[in-house]
Amino acid sequence: MGNYKFILSGGGTGGHIYPAIAIANELKDMYPDAEFLFVGAKDRMEMEKVPQAGYKIEGLWISGLQRKLTFKNMLFPIKLVSSLLKARGIVKKFKPDAVIGTGGFASGPLLRMAAGKDIPCVLQEQNSYAGVTNKLLANKVKKICVAYDGMDRFFPVDKIIKTGNPVRKDLVEMNVSKQEALEFFGLNAEKPVLLVLGGSLGARRVNVLIKEQLPLFKSLGIQVVWQCGKLYYDEYKNCQTDDVLVFDFLNKMDYAYAAADVIISRAGAGSVSELSIVGKPVIFIPSPNVAEDHQTKNALAYADKNAAILLREKELDLNFKTVFTDLLSSKEQQLKLSENIKKQAFPNATKNIALEVEKLLKK
Q: Are residues 325 and 192 in the same domain?
A: yes
Q: Are residues 208 and 175 in the same domain?
A: yes
Q: Given this model, what pLDDT does residue 263 score?
A: 98
Q: Given this model, what pLDDT does residue 69 score?
A: 55
Q: Is 213 annotated as a binding residue?
A: no
pLDDT at position 65 over 70: no
Q: Are residues 301 and 324 in the same domain?
A: yes
Q: Are residues 43 and 80 in the same domain?
A: yes
Task: Give the domain extent around 57.
Answer: 5-167+347-362
Residues 297-344: tens digit of each pLDDT:
999 999 999 999 999 999 999 999 999 999 999 999 999 999 999 999
Q: Is 200 annotated as a binding residue?
A: yes
Q: Is 131 annotated as a binding residue?
A: no
Q: Are residues 270 and 200 in the same domain?
A: yes
| Confidence bin at 11 (pLDDT 50/70/90) | confident
3-class state of residue 60 by DSSP = strand
Q: Are residues 223 and 157 in the same domain?
A: no
Q: Are residues 18 and 162 in the same domain?
A: yes
Q: Are residues 198 and 250 in the same domain?
A: yes
pLDDT at position 190 over 90: yes
Q: Is 295 annotated as a binding residue?
A: yes
Q: Are residues 222 and 259 in the same domain?
A: yes
| Confidence bin at 256 (pLDDT 50/70/90) | very high
Specify the CATH number for the domain of residue 34: 3.40.50.2000
Q: Is 11 annotated as a binding residue?
A: no
Q: Are residues 96 and 227 in the same domain?
A: no
Q: Is 89 annotated as a binding residue?
A: no
| Average pLDDT of the segment spanning 60-82 | 63
Q: Lowest-confidence range among 23-37, 110-124, 149-163, 195-209?
A: 195-209
Q: Are residues 162 and 238 in the same domain?
A: no
Q: Which residue has the higher pLDDT, 28 or 69?
A: 28
Q: Is 127 annotated as a binding residue?
A: yes
| Average pLDDT of the segment spanning 100-107 | 88
Count up the domains in the chain and report the number.
2
Q: What own/partner pairs with CB < 8 Å and gap ≥ 24 does 79-88 have?
A: 80/109, 83/108, 83/109, 84/109, 84/112, 84/113, 86/58, 86/60, 86/61, 87/39, 87/60, 87/112, 87/113, 87/114, 88/113
| CA-based max dimension of the chain | 64
Helix, strand, coil share of the chain (percent; to 5):
50, 15, 35
Residues 198-225: tens digit of each pLDDT:
876 678 999 999 999 999 999 999 999 9
pLDDT at position 285 over 80: yes
pLDDT at position 82 over 60: yes
Q: Are residues 220 and 144 in the same domain?
A: no
